[in-house]
Amino acid sequence: MTVRSIAVIGSVAFDTLETPSGRADGELGGSAVHFAVAASFFAPVSLVGPIGDDFPAATREYLVARGIDCSGLEHRPGRTFRWHGRYHEDMNKRDTVALDLGVFAGFAPRIADATRRAPYVFLGNIDPALQRGVLDQFAAPALVGLDTMNHWIDEARGPLEALLERVDVLVINDEEARLLAREDNVVRAARRILALGARRVLVKRGEYGAILFSPSSVFAVPAFPLEQVFDPTGAGDTFAGGMMGHLAATGDADDAALRRAIVYGTVLASFVVEDFGGRRMRTLTRAEIDHRYSQFVALTSF
């Protein structure tokens, strides 16, 4: 079994989070950070993204201590990306209260030579033109994951669709899948996205779980049932990080491996929602992950 490395590009952020349970300011977040922290439980990860003058040395040290390669964190003059989100009582819904691009504006990453050889690449939710520019720099990735959002489907449909044929797993929520495919039914939407070129489509459905569509099969998992969801921020990226981390750890890419990896992604996501931002990941252990994985197996076997 060869553990392969993963490169992730996306936002590195400080978040203000408001949920029905309370409020937190200045929480470490961003799509690439949530992904990298989750993946680091399983495999070596290189984190690529811009940081500003306000990024504390202690935060970088935390990431390095997790085994995350932070040499791709590019220090630029200005403030780190900031996002302020507010969840509704129904925590499947949230509003962006404020977003400050800071050092993300004008960021054009140059991937270091060592990182370019990473066989697993995850393109976090950023401008599809930037995602393509990054992907072009990788030598021969074995598996490419991609996340996107409504904004890019509306504003950059052409570049996004052009990327799909280079994507092994498109990770997308159900609303985005419908928007991208211009189809109300999620199954038809996924089929349409496969026809656009993505090799597999993983549709996230929040508290209802996820469905993986490939041309020849469909696999559905529930979310792990929790009594309390404290803060859903980062669940999607943590899910993707757990999934790709586990794939990289095994080196397998067949359907069975992908199914197991999706369950690990589900398990990781079920932990991150237990506290604000990524706080829960600081105390999480591999033993807790494996215990919940076996609970999940029991939950879904009949």
233 touches ligand AMP by CB under 6 A: yes
The answer for residues whose C-beta is within 8 angstroms of residue 177's C-beta and 6 or more apart is 186, 189, 190, 193, 201, 203
The smaller minimum CB distance to ligand AMP, of residues 34 and 178, is found at 34
Strands (DSSP E) contained in 111-260 are 120-123, 143-147, 169-173, 201-204, 210-214, 217-221
Site size for ligand AMP, by CB under 6 A?
15
The smaller minimum CB distance to ligand AMP, of residues 95 and 290, is found at 95
237 touches ligand AMP by CB under 6 A: yes
**Contact window for ligand AMP (CB under 6 A) among 7-15, 51-59, 60-68, 260-268:** 7-15
243 touches ligand AMP by CB under 6 A: no
CA–CA separation, 240 and 31 (whole Å) = 10
CB 136 within 8 Å of CB 113: no
235 touches ligand AMP by CB under 6 A: yes
175 touches ligand AMP by CB under 6 A: no
CA–CA separation, 121 and 95 (whole Å) = 29
The smaller minimum CB distance to ligand AMP, of residues 29 and 119, is found at 29
The smaller minimum CB distance to ligand AMP, of residues 194 and 221, is found at 221
- Longest CA–CA span in the chain (Å) reads 56
User: What's the CA angle centered on 152, arms 189 and 232, to 5 degrees?
Assistant: 80
Shortest CB 301 distance to ligand AMP, Å = 28
CB 236 within 8 Å of CB 282: no
119 touches ligand AMP by CB under 6 A: no
Q: Give residues in contact with ligand AMP (CB under 6 A).
A: 11, 13, 15, 29-31, 34, 83, 99, 125, 233-237
